[in-house]
Amino acid sequence: MEADASQVTSGSPNDSQHDPGKMFIGGLSWQTSPDSLRDYFSKFGEIRECMVMRDPTTKRSRGFGFITFADVSSVDKVLAQPHHELDSKTIDPKVAFPRRAQPKMVTRTKKIFVGGLSASTVVEDVKQYFEQFGKVEDAMLMFDKTTNRHRGYPETEERKPGFSQLCISMKYVLYL
């Protein structure tokens, strides 16, 4: 794998030592360059390293890259913003972990997914059930556009850390 980099420091994206200022940026447009990536993220803080990963044979962007901030607090600023768009495409910045050092479970999302709901289930049923574990910020049923029926699974958003883990640890979660 090859990197199209801007001010690359020593090392590679697969270094085994974790740099808390390093972020993985997924969903990049094929046209995104290291310069445009740097320009976008520089509003969050000083960037020490920036690279867009490219296929070594075709030299085409692989649709992801890495940035490393000089100050770790810049990572929090990026993660605090719910939506990021670059080159007319929604991008997905995440804290980067070396492949060998990835924790078993890293969650930054507050959303949980539940499947197997009956066709008669309504969003109020889902909210009411999950309120026993803590305040539910939002709940929605995903609908099929062609049939206008929900797909059998809701998406809920928790406010309390550990809510998802508590739900996961239950043997039987939801019968509606």
pLDDT, tens digit (0-9, with 9 covering 90-100), for 59-90: 888 999 999 999 999 999 999 998 999 999 99
Greater confidence (48 vs 169) lies with: 48
Greater confidence (87 vs 101) lies with: 87
Query: What's the whole-number average pLDDT of the chain?
Result: 75
Q: Which of 65, 30, 64, 40 is nearest to 50 (CA)?
A: 65
Among the residue ranges 1-5, 23-27, 56-60, 138-142, the one predicted with the least confidence is 1-5
Q: Which of 63, 72, 62 is nearest to 95 (CA)?
A: 72
- What is the largest distance, in Å, between two alpha-carbon atoms of the chain? 58
Q: Which of 27, 23, 31, 22 is nearest to 4 (CA)?
A: 31
**CATH 3.30.70.330 domain locations along the chain:** 22-95, 111-153+161-170
Contact 140, 123 (CB under 8 A): yes
The tokens describing 150, both together, are 């929900």
In the predicted structure, residue 57 carries a pLDDT above the cut 50: yes
Determine the average pLDDT of the residues in 81-109: 78
Q: Which of 129, 130, 159, 154 is nearest to 141 (CA)?
A: 154
Q: List residues bridging with 66 in a β-sheet.
A: 24, 51
Q: In what order do the strands lie in the sheet with 47-54?
A: 2-6, 47-54, 61-69, 22-26, 92-95
Greater confidence (86 vs 171) lies with: 86
pLDDT at position 53, please? 94
Question: With bands split at pLDDT 50, 70 and 90, how would you rate the model's confidence at 42?
Answer: very high
Greater confidence (30 vs 127) lies with: 30
Contact 51, 4 (CB under 8 A): yes
pLDDT at position 100, please? 64
Domain covering 22-95: architecture: 2-Layer Sandwich (3.30)
Tell whether pTM > 0.85: no
CATH code for the part of the protein at 111-153+161-170: 3.30.70.330
pLDDT at position 171, please? 41
